[in-house]
Amino acid sequence: ELKVEQNPLFLSMQEGKNYTIYCNYSTTSDRLYWYRQDPGKSLESLFVLLSNGAVKQEGRLMASLDTKARLSTLHITAAVHDLSATYFCAVDFGNEKLTFGTGTRLTIIP
Amino acid sequence: DVKVTQSSRYLVKRTGEKVFLECVQDMDHENMFWYRQDPGLGLRLIYFSYDVKMKEKGDIPEGYSVSREKKERFSLILESASTNQTSMYLCASGWTANTEAFFGQGTRLTVV
């Protein structure tokens, strides 16, 4: 079965702290995407990771892909309030679909 | 900027009604998708289309059908709406082997 699992599902963190969201997937893929969703809004593309070892950074967010471990991480550095959102990873298993994780709801508290 | 536009943000329909959700994209994308989003379940693919008049079932197609008569428009049809189809519906387009999918703003459908 093609599965994508994220953890944690919920995350509250203090401003200024660092944390990592994990995305594990069940079978071989070298294409993974990260999205952000604000409450009541649609999904916004954050990162496209297309090969083993790919690393992308934008502001306080950095995403990486380890295809051998079937793992992607989204690292948050020195969190600020406007990073509060739900973050999804999505995997291309080569079956003409994108399979999404369940999402991680991130809340940054002062 | 890529634009994916869904016809309604909020919709309330009665059980048994036929419901049409419309999605239009302006970037000449070949691939278009319909997902539903439910708390704790993430996004689940209902149907997708990789060309005009072509459609493929996703993971949860039961109770739904789709239509793609023109490249820019992909419609999701609930033949006879039921309360368990109350959900957020998201349309997406794009996504080839090297680019991401772009999402519409979503339609929150409530079936009463």
Give one DSSP letter per residue of A6-69, joined into a string.
Answer: EE-SEEEEETT--EEEEEEESS--S-EEEEEE-TTS-EEEEEEE-STT-EEEETTEEEEEETTT
Are A90 and A33 in contact, with CB atoms under 8 Å apart?
A: yes
Please tell me the predicted confidence (pLDDT) of residue A98: 84
Does A46 have pLDDT greater than 90? yes
Reference B34, options B45, B19, B50; nearest CA is B45
- Stretch B56-78: mean pLDDT: 96
Q: Decide if A17 touches B, using CB distance below 8 A.
A: no
DSSP annotation of B33 reads E
**Looking at B57-66, B67-76, B88-97, which range is the least confident one?**
B88-97
Q: Could you read off the pLDDT of A24-41 as tens digits, one per residue?
A: 999 988 889 999 999 888
Q: Looking at the complex, does the CB of residue B66 fall below 8 Å from at least one CB of chain A?
A: no
Contact assignment for A42 to B48 by CB distance below 8 Å:
no
- Give the closest of A42, A92, A99 to B106, CB-based: A42
The DSSP H or E segment spanning B54 is strand B54-57
Nearby residues of A11 by Cβ (< 8 Å), 6 or more positions away = A19, A21, A104, A105, A106, A107
Write the pLDDT tens digit of every residue in A70-99.
Answer: 999 999 999 999 999 999 999 988 877 788
Mean pLDDT (chain A, rounded): 93
CB contact under 8 A, B98 and A102: no
- What pLDDT is attached to residue B97? 59
Minimal Cα–Cα distance from B104 to chain A, Å?
Answer: 6
For tokens 């994990």, the residue is: A22
- The pLDDT, as a whole number, for residue B98 is 60
On the question of pLDDT at B2 being above 80, the answer is no
- d(CA A102, nearest CA chain B) in Å: 4
* B55 pLDDT higher than 70: yes
Q: What is the mean pLDDT of residues B17-40?
A: 93
Q: Tell whether the model's pLDDT for residue B20 goes beyond 90.
A: yes
Closest CA to A42 of B50, B24, B73, B4: B4
Higher pLDDT: B15 or B99? It is: B15
**Which residues of chain B are within 8 Å of residue A41 when distances are taken between CB atoms?**
105-106
Structure tokens at B21: 């959700």
Which of the residue ranges A34-38, A92-96, B5-9, B64-68 would you say has the lowest mean pLDDT? A92-96
Residue A78 CB neighbours (<10 A):
10
The pLDDT mean for chain B works out to 92
Contact A97 B45 (CB under 8 A): yes
pLDDT band at A103 (very low <50, low <70, confident <90, very high): very high
Kindly tell me if the per-residue pLDDT of A1 is higher than 70.
yes
